[in-house]
Amino acid sequence: AMAADEDEIDALKDLYKNTAGANWTVNTNWTIGDPCKNHWYGVYCDSGSRVTALLLSNNGLAGKLVAIDTSLDQLRTLDLSNNRLTGDFSKLAPYLCSLPQLSVLNLGGNGFTGTLTNCFVKASVDFFYMRDNHLSGSLRDILATPSLVELDLSGNKFHTQLPSSFDDLVNIVKLDLSNNQLYGYLSSELGDLATLKLLNLSHNNFTGTIPSALAALDFTADFSGNTWECPIPSGLSVNCTHCRAGYTVVNGLCKECPAGFSGNGHSECVMCPANTFSPVAGSAFCSQCPRGAFSFEGSADCVGTFLLVQFVLIVLVLVLVVLSLILYCVLRCWLKRHNKAPANDGATAYLHPEFS
């Protein structure tokens, strides 16, 4: 077998030195002779003794990783996940992007800080795993990387909005952005990701509605731990917490508050207090009656003072008419009773001649 490239050997020795290799959990044969022939732990080579993979996850690597020697130009898989590595990822990224064969990058479960750079847009990375670090900044460039098949940025510190377009994610199968501080609304263009099979946006600060286009995709999704507005598209198992203002949640659906009521979208519709009104259904608040007007509770309109006076006068007239009718009937009945003539003997004799 051919000997490993000297530049690659030096690159591996630098990695060993910079990550406290003497204290690794397993460091079998490292720094001894040829890494391919002597089978350095975690180093994998092709038939030409070129290093193609470094698999050193959960191995006690520690220290600030600021560079990866670009002489490892046949490296296809770099897995340094679940160690104690730190450093500014934005400074490390240009070295990673310069590895022309790199397809799988897994630095998850470390302590990297900084931001994602735009160099990955033209790089060859297909599987990008950076979960459980301390990354922040924008996601716009990484979400415009055509090569990506799987992207896991969960458990970081991204406090930003998602872009409105995802046209460049033409190969994406898994997208995990859970446990960050993402906020804002979801674009309906997420529904255009025809290759998507897993989407995890749980435990962020998203608001608004879940686009109905997502319900048409054949994929597994997790939208929990956000503040979604009802209604939820059919087929998605997620709870909504509120509706838009002017509505109330009833069995997971949004019901419009009627006129004379207001709704904040969270609790039940509230009847407008006296001297306020809401003229149409779906009102977010009750308006104050203008000066010189009033309303009762639950009113859809206000009544002016002049109209009130007219109303009171009409009521009084009706009351007087009713009282007059009652008094007339009482007097008439009384007069009939007291003016009735008593029966006489002649009338009795006429009716009964045998007694005459």
Query: For residue 156, which phi and psi values (nearest 5 degrees)?
Result: -115, -155
Query: For residue 73, which phi and psi values (nearest 5 degrees)?
Result: -80, 0
Q: What is the pLDDT of residues 15-44, one digit of tens each?
A: 999 999 999 999 999 999 999 999 999 999
- Please, where are the H alpha helices in the chain? 6-18, 89-97, 305-338, 345-351
| pLDDT of 305 | 53
Q: Strand 174-176 and strand 198-200: pairing? A: parallel
| pLDDT of 326 | 84
| pLDDT of 319 | 81
Specify whether the CB–CB gap between 197 and 203 falls below 8 A.
Answer: no
| pLDDT of 44 | 97
Q: What is the pLDDT of residues 269-313, one digit of tens each?
A: 888 898 888 888 888 888 988 887 888 888 888 886 555 556 667
Spans of the chain below 50 pLDDT: 345-352, 355-356
C-alpha 156/C-alpha 177 separation (Å) is: 9
C-alpha 321/C-alpha 107 separation (Å) is: 92
| pLDDT of 28 | 97
| pLDDT of 69 | 92
| pLDDT of 346 | 46
| pLDDT of 250 | 75
Q: Strand 205-206 and strand 293-294: pairing? A: unpaired
C-alpha 195/C-alpha 106 separation (Å) is: 22
C-alpha 145/C-alpha 92 separation (Å) is: 18
Give a three-class secondary structure readout of 40-60: CCCEEECCCCCEEEEECCCCC
Q: What is the pTM of this model?
A: 0.74
Q: What is the pLDDT of residues 186-210, one digit of tens each?
A: 998 888 888 999 999 999 999 988 8
Query: Given its phi and psi angles, is residue 147 left (phi above 0), alpha (psi -120 to 50 degrees) or beta?
Result: alpha
Peptide bond into 231 cis (omega under 30): yes
Contacts 24+ apart (CB under 8 A), 95-100: 95/67, 95/68, 95/69, 95/70, 96/68, 96/123, 96/125, 97/122, 97/123, 97/125, 98/70, 99/68, 99/70, 99/72, 99/73, 99/75, 99/124, 100/73, 100/124
